[in-house]
Amino acid sequence: MPQMPQNHNNRPLPNEGANPRPRADHPGRSHNPNAGDSVRRSRSPYDSADRNAARSGQNAPHSPYGAPRQRVQYDGRPPRYTAAARQQAGTHQQAEASQQAGAHHQAGARQQVRARQGAAPARRRPQRSVQPEPRRSKTPFVIGTAVVVLAVAIWLFVGSLSVKVTVNGQEVTVGNGKTVEAAFEASGVSVSPGDLVAVDGSVLESGKGYLFSASVNGQAVQDHATVLSNNDVVEFTDGGDIEEEYDGVDSPIAFTVSSEGSGALHVYEGDGTDGVETTKTGKISGKTATVTTTEPSNVVCRYYNVDVGDDKVIALTFDDGPTSQYTQGVLDVLAENNAKATFFTLGEQVESMPDIVKRAAEAGHQICTHTYDHAEGSGQGVNLGFMSAEEQIQEVQKGQAANDAAVGGETSRAFRSPGGNFNEQTMKTLRPYITSEIGWNVDTEDWKRPGADVIASRMLSVKPGQVILCHDGGGNRSQTVEALRQALPQLREQGYSFITIDELLKYPAKG
């Protein structure tokens, strides 16, 4: 075993550090004050020798790290410093004081050097021990807030699962989707279900129809899955019948055209569309029934006179022209009296004398058709009703085309039927091609040639808002021209003015 150097002067060896001293709790161990209590020096071989000597009652060898360890008799009490230990501790304290004095001396020397060099002496700021304030915990606040939010969310969620409604006069809370059907189940209202019925309405099975009929806030509801809102008012009544399944065949229902009223003006009302009827054959009963599934939109040809109020207006009309002599004479008399009129022309006449028609149109008179040739042929020259539907349409369209060509544009679609013959079948056939059919209130019967005075007297019998019938073609119309020369000035003196049919149609119907 190598010999360790002995230290008889109780001085620390150079490699021991500064002033080791025994700990109060264990005199056999050294303690470094600069390293803290937790740092301990490693054991030396002399430690074990001390322990062995103590056990055998012999003196321990000298330790190179301090004075020889004194033998201590353990008496069961906590160990205390012995006189040697206290002496050794005092020696260590003196050494520490000497080292600190040396350190202060060196610091003062450094300050003097800085002063001679012109530098300000370093000042040491006393360090203050600042104890941080304890942080208040936010955990209770966060937990409280979370509890409140959760409670509100639960309240809203539970409230959203149900609504309060009035069912047949009683307040009911409805959950389960808040539907009409749920309200029926929650209310316990007693109503009778409908029946399963055949296509002809006879009962096949009682109570197999709809469970109930419902209305929400006064409006009938067919979908029982309709969602209710708070304060809705729901009414339940007996359920409706359910019709058996069937095979159906659809057929059109032709619209009708009829005339209503009386008067000189005949104007169409209505769309004129066909309806639908369905023939059903029940899959359970085998029965057959025909029902109307879509009503037709019928047409009414309204006959009426106009209410002109205080206006003293009348409409002069002329048929069967134009003619080179009499139509020109009529236009001259009208111009002299500042009168407007409506001409119902024949297409074949227009084609031979388009300039006269054009003159009339340029003077502000209304140009309409009276058919192409006054229903000659199968119409016997007087009645479109004797003709086929195709012939009727051709008569009207050809007459309109002649007028349009003469004036260089579209003319009025008002129409006068030959002889005034305009039955419901003709009304229906011609409805897509004309806007109205014009009759008359005063028939001068000038075509009979009763004399100019007679014709003039009939003209003077007119009332405000009425239509006067005259002719400018179809024969000798010299009496008509003369009658106009007599009547128009007198009518003007009575305060009358003369307007076209289109202008007359702007007045309301007389009640």
Q: What is the pLDDT of residues 343-397, one digit of tens each?
A: 999 999 999 999 999 999 999 999 999 999 999 999 999 999 999 999 999 999 9
Q: Which two tokens stand for residue 376?
A: 């000659």
User: Exposed, middle or buried: residue 396 (CB in 10 Å: 0-12, 13-18, 19+)?
Assistant: buried
Instruction: State residue 117's pLDDT score.
Output: 57
Q: How confident is the model at residue 131 (pLDDT cuts 50, 70, 90)?
A: low
**Minimal CA–CA distance to 392: which of 423, 367, 366, 414?**
423
Instruction: State residue 162's pLDDT score.
Output: 87
Beta bridge partners of 174: 163
Q: Which two tokens stand for residue 364?
A: 């502000």
- Determine the average pLDDT of the residues in 298-316: 97
Which H helix or E strand runs over 215? strand 212-216
What does the buried/exposed string (b/e) look like for 468-507 if buried means 16 or more CB atoms within 10 Å of the residue's CB? bbbbbbbeebebbbbbbebbbeebeeeebebbbbeebbeb
Residue type, 125: R
As a whole number of angstroms, the distance between CA 110 and CA 82 comes to 42
Q: How confident is the model at residue 341 (pLDDT cuts 50, 70, 90)?
A: very high
Q: Based on the residue annotation, tell me whether 25 is a catalytic residue of this protein.
A: no
Q: Based on the residue annotation, tell me whether 319 is a catalytic residue of this protein.
A: yes
Report pTM: 0.60
User: Exposed, middle or buried: residue 293 (CB in 10 Å: 0-12, 13-18, 19+)?
Assistant: middle
Q: How confident is the model at residue 165 (pLDDT cuts 50, 70, 90)?
A: very high
Task: Say which of 31, 92, 374, 471 is annotated catalytic.
Answer: 471
CA distance to 196, 207, 241, 249, 294, per residue, from 282 (Å):
12, 19, 15, 12, 20
Beta bridge partners of 352: none
CA angle (34 as vertex; 29, 37 as ends), nearest 5: 45
Instruction: State residue 400's pLDDT score.
Output: 98
**Which spans in 338-447 are helix H?**
347-352, 354-362, 389-407, 424-430
- Contact assessment for residue 345 and residue 369, using Cβ atoms and an 8 Å cutoff: yes
The predicted-structure confidence for 458-485, as pLDDT tens digits, reads as follows 999 999 999 999 999 999 999 999 999 9
Backbone angles phi and psi of 445, in degrees to 5:
50, 35
Q: How confident is the model at residue 13 (pLDDT cuts 50, 70, 90)?
A: very low
Instruction: State residue 18's pLDDT score.
Output: 44
pLDDT of residue 432 exceeding 50: yes
27 Rama class: left (phi>0) / alpha (psi -120 to 50) / beta: alpha
Mean pLDDT of the chain: 83
Task: Say which of 319, 320, 446, 472 is annotated catalytic.
Answer: 319
Omega within 30 of 0 (cis) for the link into 5: no
What angle do helix axes 478-493 and 326-336 make, rounded to 10 degrees? Answer: 10
Backbone angles phi and psi of 130, in degrees to 5:
-100, 120
- Contact assessment for residue 384 and residue 369, using Cβ atoms and an 8 Å cutoff: no
Q: How confident is the model at residue 175 (pLDDT cuts 50, 70, 90)?
A: confident
The better pLDDT of the pair 5, 440 is held by: 440
- Determine the average pLDDT of the residues in 404-418: 98
What angle do helix axes 354-362 and 326-336 make, rounded to 10 degrees? Answer: 10
Q: How confident is the model at residue 511 (pLDDT cuts 50, 70, 90)?
A: confident
pLDDT of residue 94 exceeding 90: no
Please, what's the largest Cα pairwise distance for the chain? 184
The better pLDDT of the pair 73, 493 is held by: 493
As a whole number of angstroms, the distance between CA 212 and CA 249 comes to 31
Q: Which two tokens stand for residue 272?
A: 């004129």
DSSP string for residues in 467-487: EEEEESSSS--HHHHHHHHHH
The better pLDDT of the pair 25, 176 is held by: 176
Instruction: State residue 415's pLDDT score.
Output: 98
- Determine the average pLDDT of the residues in 199-215: 96
- Contact assessment for residue 407 and residue 396, using Cβ atoms and an 8 Å cutoff: no
Q: How confident is the model at residue 302 (pLDDT cuts 50, 70, 90)?
A: very high
- Does the CA dihedral 319-322-326-332 come out positive or negative? positive
Share of the chain above pLDDT 70, in %: 69
Instruction: State residue 8's pLDDT score.
Output: 46
Instruction: State residue 1's pLDDT score.
Output: 43
Residue type, 277: E
The predicted-structure confidence for 247-275, as pLDDT tens digits, reads as follows 999 999 999 999 999 999 999 999 899 99
Q: Which residues contact 483 (CB under 8 A, 6 or more apart)?
A: 444, 446, 452, 453, 455, 456, 459
Residue showing tokens 């192409």: 372
Which has the minimum average pLDDT: 21-30, 76-85, 344-353, 429-438? 21-30
As a whole number of angstroms, the distance between CA 498 and CA 490 comes to 13
Q: How confident is the model at residue 39 (pLDDT cuts 50, 70, 90)?
A: very low
Q: How confident is the model at residue 154 (pLDDT cuts 50, 70, 90)?
A: low
